[in-house]
Amino acid sequence: MAPIILPSQAQNVKTRPGTPRDVEASKDVKLFQPSTIRSITIPNRIVVAPMCMYSCQDGFLNDFHLAHYFSFAFKGAGLVIIEATAVEPQGRISPEDSGLWSDEHIAPLKRVADMIKAQGSVPGIQIAHAGRKASMGSPFAGYRIIPEEENGWSKDVRGPSELPFDEKHCQPHALTKEGIQDLVQMFTDATVRADKAGIEVLEIHSAHGYLLHNFLSGNSNKRTDEYGGTLENRMRFPLEVAKAVRAAWPEHKPLWLRFSSTDFKEPEQFANDPEGWDIYQATEYAKKLKEIGVDVIDCSAGANISGVRYPTAPHFQVPFAETVRREADIPTGAVGLITDPIEAEQVLQEGKADYILLAREFLRDNGWALRAARDLNVTVKWPNQYERADNERWVGKNGK
């Protein structure tokens, strides 16, 4: 792996891109307040949500990822969470997903993490297992089952039960208890590697119909052993993973976890689905995660059962972040159709969440953090190399 020369910003926390120039004048704007959990300080509340880029070979991050993740950090995002990264090859959604199942994956990840850090942003990663949604094509390669002859593993897809997501996804094998314990170890090993790569915030993926969510929900988990049935049993494997990961992850580094707050079996946000998965069970899960030492819950929703309607609208998942924050007394991240900086600020001001995560809006505008500062009348530090484009400081000065 070729060494890179890091175009570093000043490392003083006050001069990181995306931090207020006048801390006192901006102290009422929550989006630009730093937060320290354990000993990691995120310079503002703006988070790049994990987004699969389906651009790896054998799980290795490459120059595309370096440029892609750099662009958000450079322009002031406080925390950049690197895409869902599989803990075993069969845990990828597509053959082009990122992975952390071997020590060889550490160096390319470290390159990206170092680059993010050098911009004054915090490097995070989401560790994941795709469960019964594995061995599929990327959206741009055509979302379809990828067979063995095309580098897929369609006959080796795992889930809690032999229940596929739908007829367009692979037929999963039900994991044995030994298989479950092996996976706890794989999550643990990936955690140790993420630490070695210099990642500072680790997020466990237990959302969107992937393996841990498959276990949590009675809609996908039909087991009759101690890993299925009651809520306590359905939570067992995800909590074992969280416990093992917390033990392997350094004490001074924050642990986040993303869950789907409901399966949306009914389109009402707070519909009851006690045999399946709903916000009430998700809140109980959050309480257990807090006891284990998870620091932040990133509250997403859905994607575990096919053919259901979502109450899609701007901020439609924010009520989940608000409920979990209040009921489980744990910091939360709000995500989903949040695009407007002033509305994002309102979510924080109203105490509905502690962090704002954006996915697609960051793809549209990787300088969203700088835009948010302008819209909220906060004068923030721009990256050194781009400072002359900071209109507020340069317009009218020498006319050039």
Ligand X SMILES: Cc1cc2nc3c(=O)[nH]c(=O)nc-3n(C[C@H](O)[C@H](O)[C@H](O)COP(=O)(O)O)c2cc1C
Task: List active site positions.
Answer: 210
40 binds ligand X (CB under 6 A): no
User: Of 25-33, 49-57, 260-268, 341-349, which segment contacts ligand X by CB under 6 A?
Assistant: 49-57
Torsions phi, psi of 342, nearest 5?
A: -70, -40
Residue 43: alpha-carbon gap to chain centroid = 18
Integer CA distances (angstroms), 377 to 8, 27, 28, 29, 370, in order: 26, 12, 11, 9, 11
Nearer to ligand X, 96 or 361 (CB): 361
Considering only CA atoms, which of 296, 314, 301, 294 is closest in space to residue 360? 314
Distance, in Å, from the CA atom of 41 to the CA atom of 22, rounded to the nearest integer, reads 18
DSSP assignment of 8-76 equals PPP-SGGGSTTSBSSTTTTTT-GGG--EEETTEEESSSEEEPP------BTTB--HHHHHHHHHHHHTT
User: Of 58-66, 205-213, 282-290, 345-353, which segment contacts ligand X by CB under 6 A?
Assistant: 205-213
Q: Hey, which residues does 259 pair with through a beta bridge?
A: 206, 299
User: Of 30-38, 242-250, 265-273, 333-341, which segment contacts ligand X by CB under 6 A?
Assistant: 333-341
Nearer to ligand X, 50 or 367 (CB): 50
201 binds ligand X (CB under 6 A): no
360 binds ligand X (CB under 6 A): yes
Nearer to ligand X, 132 or 258 (CB): 258
User: Which residues ranging from 76 to 135 are in contact with ligand X (CB under 6 A)?
Assistant: 83-84, 126
**CB 53 → ligand X: shortest distance, Å?**
7
**CB 137 → ligand X: shortest distance, Å?**
14
**CB 22 → ligand X: shortest distance, Å?**
29
Torsions phi, psi of 297, nearest 5?
A: -105, 125
DSSP assignment of 358-371 equals ESHHHHH-TTHHHH
User: Of 44-52, 168-176, 219-227, 369-377, which segment contacts ligand X by CB under 6 A?
Assistant: 44-52
Distance, in Å, from the CA atom of 311 to the CA atom of 309, rounded to the nearest integer, reads 7
51 binds ligand X (CB under 6 A): yes
Residue from 49, 56, 100, 282 that binds ligand X (CB under 6 A)? Answer: 49
Residue 233: alpha-carbon gap to chain centroid = 25
x/- string (CB under 6 A) for ligand X, residues 251-290?
-------x--------------------------------
Q: 3-state DSSP call for residue 377?
A: coil
347 binds ligand X (CB under 6 A): no
Residue ranges that bind ligand X, judged by CB under 6 A: 49-52, 83-84, 126, 205, 207-208, 258, 300, 335-338, 358-361
